[in-house]
Amino acid sequence: MKRLFKTYLEKPELAGLILLVLLIVVFQIRSHGVFLNADNLRGILGILPEAGLVAIGVTILMISGEFDLSVGSVFALMPMTMAVLMVHGAPFPLALLAGLLVCAAVGFINGYVTIRFAIPSFITTLGMLFMARSLTVVVSGGFPPLLPADLPTWLFTSFVGPGNMFRMSFVWFAGIALLTSLMLSHTNFGNWIKATGGFLPAAASMGIPTARVKLACFMLCSMLSGFAGMLQVLRLGSPLPSIGEGMELQAVASAVIGGASLAGGIGTVMGGIIGTTLIRVIDNGLVLSHVDANWFKFAIGFLTIFAVVANAWMRKRAKAIKMEG
Amino acid sequence: MTDAIISVRNLHKWYSGVHALKGVTLDFTRGEALGLVGDNGAGKSTLINILSGVHTADQGEIQVEGRPVSITKPRDAMDLGIETIYQYNSMVPTMSIARNLFIGREPIRFSVLGVGLLDQKKMASESIRAIANVDLHLRSPDALVGELSGGQRQGVAIARAMHFKSKVMILDEPTNHLSVKETKKVIGFVRSLKEQGVTGVFISHNMHHVFECCDRVVAMARGEVVLDKRIEDTSIDEVHGVL
C-alpha cells in the first residue's frame, strides 16, 4: 500500500491529472451539464490534436534537456510551404513531404547551432521563432494562397467514429502519442533521451551520443509542430501566416503542467497531453460557465505555477516515504 | 612485462599550451590494485581521461593486453573492458537503478537501425543480481538513483562495471564527499576487485585510503610519474615527499 502510494506520488503527471478531473467536475456543474455533452466534447476533441502534438514534441525535447520556442512559427511555416508548393502544381503527398523536410531542417538548425556553439536553446529557438515566422510571411507574399479543392481532408480532418465523435486528426494524434510514449518508456533510445536530459556528463561517459540524441529530439519536435500546423490549416481551410502565435508558450505550459522538468530528465508524453487537455478544458469551460473569457490566460498562468509547486511538493513527499532497507 | 593489462608508452597531452602529460610511461599489472596519487593538476585526471576515451592523447601509444589500441570515445574504452567511475558520479539521479545499470548497453529484444524495444524483464532480474554480487543491499531496482546515498551510488556504479565484465576499473576519487562508514564500504569494494580478478586503478587525494587498499602506488607531479613502488616498499611520508 505504502509502495503503491509512493509510486503514484512519484508520477510527474499526477498533479495535472488530479487538476483535470477536478476542473471537469466543476465545469460540468457550473455549465449545468452542457460541458460533457457530445457536441461540446466533439468541439474540444476536434482541436485538441493540434496543440497536443506540439506539446508532445516540446515535452520530449524538454526531457532531453532542451527547449524550443520556435514551434509556433514552424506550426505556420510548414502548412504555408505546402500551400505555396500546391499552388504551383505540386501534388499533396509531395507537398507534405517537402513541408516535413522543411521542419526537419529547422529542427536540425536549432539543434546544431545550440550544440555546436554551446549556447542555450532558449536563444537559438527564440531567433528561429522570428526567422521562421518571417519566412512564412515572405513565401506567402503577404496573401494566404488559395488551397486546392481536392485535399485529402478525409485522411486528416473528417469526422469519424461513433456519433462522429472524433476528427481523423484525433486518430493521428492518438497514434503518434502512443508511439512516442512507447519510444520514451520502452526503447533504448528513450533511455538515452532521459539520461541525456537527466545528467549529461553521466550519459556522455557511458558512451551515449548525446549530441545526436538532442538533435533527433529537436527535429522530432519541429516535425510534430509542423504536422500539427497542417492539421489546423486543413481544418480551417486556409493557410493564415499568423496561426500558432503564442503557441510556443502554451506548449511549454502544457509540458510543465504535465510534470516535465525544465531542467530535463523528467516528464512523460502522457503528462504533456494531460497539460494540453487541461488548457483546452479551461478555454472551453470558462466560456460555458459564463466567465469573462479574458480570464483564460490568467487561469493558465496560475495553473502552470500551481502544477509545478504541487509536483515539487509531491515529489518531496514521495522521497520522504522511506521503504524498507 | 607479459602480465601488463594496459601499457602506456611516452604519452603526451597539451591543453591549449599547457603540457599536461610529459611522456608518461606506465604498466598496469593484471589483477593489481594500483593507487594513483598526485596534487591537482599533476596529470592523473588527464591520464585517466585518455584511458577512458574522454580525451585523446596527442602523442604516445596505448596497449591493452599487448595489442596497440586507439581509444577515441568512451565506448571504445568500455568495449576494451575499461570502465571508469567518476567522482561526479556516473549515474543519472532521475532514473532508476535498473535503467542506470544499462545506460548505453540496454538489452534489446529486437531493433531497427539501432533503436529497439527494451527487455525490461531481463534488466530487472540482472540488475538485482548485479547489485547483490557487490554485496549491496537495496530495496528495489526501480528505486531512483537520486534517493541513494553517495556510497550506495558508487556501489551501483561498481556493480555496473562488474556486470559488464570489465577487466580494468578506474575509480576517480570515489571516496570524496563520503562519510567514514561509506568510505570503508568503497575501500572494501576496491579490495574485492582483486578477488574477482579485476584490475583496479584507484585515484585519491587521501593517502591513507590508497595505502589501505592498494598493492602499488604511483605518484604523479607536473605531468610526470615521480614515484612507482609497491606499497610494502614505501611509506606515506615518502610519497608525500615527492609530490
Q: What is the DSSP string of A55-93?
A: HHHHHHHHHTT---S-HHHHHHHHHHHHHHHHHTT--HH
Interface test with A, best of B76, B78, B92, B100 (most A CBs within 10 A): B92
What was the pLDDT predicted at B88? 67
What was the pLDDT predicted at A324? 44
Query: How far is it, in rounded angstroms, from Cα B32 to Cα B36?
Result: 12
Query: How far is it, in rounded angstroms, from Cα A62 to Cα A79?
Result: 25
Query: How far is it, in rounded angstroms, from Cα A157 to Cα A251?
Result: 22
Q: What is the mean pLDDT of residues B150-170?
A: 87
- Is the pLDDT confidence value at B158 over 90? no
Q: Are A144 and A241 in contact (CB under 8 A)?
A: yes
Beta-carbon separation of B91 and A194 below 8 A:
no
Beta-carbon separation of A188 and B86 below 8 A:
no
- In 3-state terms, what secondary structure has residue B216? strand
| Confidence tier at B1 by pLDDT (50, 70, 90) | very low
Does domain A21-141+152-318 sit in CATH 2.40.50?
no
Instruction: Give domain limits for chain A.
Output: 21-141+152-318
Q: Determine the straight-line distance between the first and last CA of chain A, rounded to whole angstroms.
A: 17
- The Cα-based distances of B73 to B14, B54, B55 in angstroms read 18, 6, 8
| Domain CATH number, residue B62 | 3.40.50.300
Beta-carbon separation of A208 and B104 below 8 A:
yes
Q: In chain B, how many domains are there?
A: 1
Q: Are B11 and B50 in contact (CB under 8 A)?
A: yes
Tens-level pLDDT at each residue, chain A (325 residues)? 677 777 777 788 888 899 999 999 999 999 999 999 999 999 999 999 999 999 999 999 999 999 999 999 999 999 999 999 999 999 999 999 999 999 999 999 999 999 999 999 999 999 999 999 999 999 998 788 999 888 998 999 899 888 888 999 999 999 999 999 999 999 999 999 999 999 999 999 888 999 999 999 999 999 999 999 999 999 999 999 999 999 999 999 999 999 999 889 999 999 999 999 999 999 999 989 888 888 999 999 998 999 888 888 888 887 777 654 3
Q: What percent of chain B has pLDDT over 70?
A: 98
Query: How far is it, in rounded angstroms, from Cα B110 to Cα B98?
Result: 19
Looking at the complex, report in whole angstroms how far the Cα of residue B47 sits from the nearest Cα belonging to chain A. 15
Q: Are A324 and A3 in contact (CB under 8 A)?
A: no
Query: How far is it, in rounded angstroms, from Cα A64 to Cα A77?
Result: 24
What ipTM score was computed for the predicted complex, to two decimals? 0.84
* B139 domain residue, yes or no: no
For residue B33, give the nearest of B234, B216, B226, B218 by alpha carbon.
B216
* B112 domain residue, yes or no: no
* B86 domain residue, yes or no: no
Nearest CA in chain A to B147: A319
Beta-carbon separation of B103 and A186 below 8 A:
no
A188 interface with B at CB cutoff 8 Å: yes
* B58 domain residue, yes or no: yes
What was the pLDDT predicted at A323? 55
Which residues of B lie inside 8 Å of A (Cβ-Cβ)?
52, 54, 73-75, 78, 84, 86, 88-95, 99, 102-106, 108, 111, 114-118, 120, 137-140, 143-144, 147
3-state helix, strand, coil in chain A (%, to 5): 75, 0, 25
Query: How far is it, in rounded angstroms, from Cα A170 to Cα A218?
Result: 23
* B73 domain residue, yes or no: yes
What was the pLDDT predicted at A319? 77
Strand partners, B61: B9
Q: Could you tell me where the DSSP H helices lie in B52-141? A: 74-79, 97-101, 120-133
What was the pLDDT predicted at A253? 94
What was the pLDDT predicted at A325? 39
* B152 domain residue, yes or no: no
Location of C-alpha cell 534488466: B123
| Grid coordinates belonging to B129 | 543480481
Q: Are A69 and A129 in contact (CB under 8 A)?
A: yes
What was the pLDDT predicted at A1? 64
| Chain CA centroid to CA A179, Å | 14
**Chain A residues lying within 8 Å of B143, measured CB to CB:** 323
CB-based burial label for A157 (10 Å; 0-12, 13-18, 19+): buried
| Confidence tier at B2 by pLDDT (50, 70, 90) | low
Query: How far is it, in rounded angstroms, from Cα B22 to Cα A192?
Result: 37
Of A189, A201, A206, which is closest to B115 when you measure between CB atoms?
A189
| Confidence tier at B68 by pLDDT (50, 70, 90) | very high
Domain that holds residue B184: 4-81+166-242
